[in-house]
Amino acid sequence: MSGREIEGGPPPAPKAGAPGGGGGPGPAWRPAVLASVGSILLHAVAVLWVWHSWGGFGRGGVLAWIDFPSSLAYLRLRGGAKLTWSLLIGGLQWGVLGAGLSLLVGRSARRPTS
């Protein structure tokens, strides 16, 4: 027994992600957040590369395919507005996909509990 328990103080709080409490995100969320951030960064690099290296005619179509189906929301925009919406909406789409895939793979790779 620690001195705190003898004095009648509250027991120490469980660590975040520990079974039985903590209130924080579980251990599976950290890789999901990293996968989400990585997906958003890769998407941003790909979109900016396409925007700067392709001509005006082809880059809109390439961006539409990279971000499909979310690109249907900004398909009629032109110029910088299309680039901005592709970075925002497409990045969000790929971030969600990256996090979801990380959670799915993490769940399927876990050892069964007895």
CB 89 within 8 A of CB 108: no
Calculate the alpha carbon distances from 103 to 2, 36, 37 in Å: 38, 11, 14
Reported as a single tens digit per residue, the pLDDT across 77-87 is 888 888 888 99
Q: What is the pLDDT of residue 2?
A: 52
Structure-model confidence comparison of residues 73 and 109, the more confident one: 73
Distance between CA 95 and CA 61 in Å, rounded?
21
pTM for this model (two decimals): 0.68
CA dihedral 92, 103, 62, 79 (to 10 degrees): 10
Angle between helices 91-109 and 29-53 in degrees, nearest 10: 140
Checking if the pLDDT of 111 tops 60, the result is yes
How does pLDDT run across 25-41, given as a tens digit for each residue?
677 788 899 999 999 99
